[in-house]
Chain A
Amino acid sequence: METITSPISGLRARGVALGSVVPIYLLLVACGVTLLVGCLQSGLFARLTVSGLAVGAAYGSLALALVLIYRATHVINFAQGELAMATTYVAYQLIQWGLSYWEAFFATLAIAFMIGTLLQVALIRPVQHRSQVAAVIVTVGLFILIDGIVNWIWGGNFKFMQSPFGTGAYTIGGVDIEHLYVGMFGVVLASVVLVWALFRFTKLGLGMRAAALRPAAASLVGVRVDAMLALGWGLAAVLGAVAGLMYEPSQFTLDPTLMQTALVYAFAAAVLGGLDSPVGAVVGGLAIGVFLNLLVGYVPAISSELQLPFAFALLLAILLVKPSGLFGQREVRRV
């Protein structure tokens, strides 16, 4: 299986690009307004929306990690969720060994970064030039292996991690908004913004973007492409760790299955938003989080069993209309 996508063509006319994106932004604004109105009308709606946005942020962070890796190396990292879960366990262990929550948090981010870069260098780099499928299968192997290792070390029983945001809530207009949800949303937003700033404003970020988009040209101007790709994986691992660490308190317990459903939603978010669009990934995650909650709360006709198939059918329908996702760019294939 050879590389099918080609880099986004710089020859694309501006007008065409705008034409495909403006309707999407309008749609988003419309959704935002609807949500706001709904929140003001109903306490239940507000609660569902807020918690949906919070977990959606976690899904979005994981989706962003997937997109980051995909943009850089055209590899779907199946192990992203398990890696996020494993790094959460690392934080758990650090806390057991006496660190405070935030000390463990930042230490874990550093460890995640190192693991991410190491994985890319040791396991992905040797194969990605030979065969992209092989690289993807390596991530499948990692998915299985990491799950096995975590189970081996910590076992399958529940573990408890103190929520860093406590169990209190802000009361706005008669509706309780958990500190946890605000915190989750805030931390994820902060990390996403930081990563965005890194890419946009630093030379390092520029180098990473160049290495992803035009590796040959980039290396000609002195960018160390291989190192940039490794850094990309490291950053993705950090985003994954943030996703895991923020998601765990919302699920009340820590066990090896923590990120399995989240990974599925993250894939859906990444596909929905467009696999080459970081904005799309985050928006996709938020959309999925809110949508699922509202579906459960307001459409009992779609019974439990049909929720997942329904959500995916919807996703597929959207893909048929926009085959590269909401924010993705159509691939131009050169003959």
Chain B
Amino acid sequence: MFPRCAALQKFCFKWTSLQYLRCIENYRLAPIWSLGILLHLLFPPIISASSSLGIGLAAVEEGDDRQRPAALVQGLIDDDWGFKVLYYGRVQEPVTQDTYLLTGTRRFELFGSKSWYGEWGLAILHETSRITRPRDSLLKTATHSSNLGLKFGLGWQLQSKLILGFDWGTALFPAGWGGILLSTSRKQNLSLVVGWTL
């Protein structure tokens, strides 16, 4: 089975993302690492001298002052553009919740420092809740919800071959369509990242 994945890695650019996602689903890899592998495979065509890839841990807050542990994959395409995928969830039988937060941001220097940066961009949120119903199989067992928002953040990153950094970010989403009433929801993340310059 695994040689098939190696072949997939070799010819990954001829595969669609959906085919690849089906493949890693078959191997039942942990979702965040699957995404990390996918991003790593898609990365080579766009890397530059300052590209980097990292993994890390985060505390995510959803507006109630409770910090939820999360795993993350972070990539920098160059000095200016980067992305981050955050995953967190919980299992509380019979309910399982999974949340993915994908952000793509443009970075800029803060206060003339090479190490301190600000960033802003777009955020995509996808949440899934599943409930196990062994007897009532006709009832709905999963709900999916997605939202599109803005990402703001700032952080510090060690400038070397080894990437070490932390950041404090906010993904801001419209809550309903209140327009000028400015009703929003927010996912805050406090992240610690370790990685390597490619």
Query: Do A and B interact?
Result: no
Question: CB within 8 Å of A: which residues of B?
Answer: none
Question: CB within 8 Å of B: which residues of A?
Answer: none
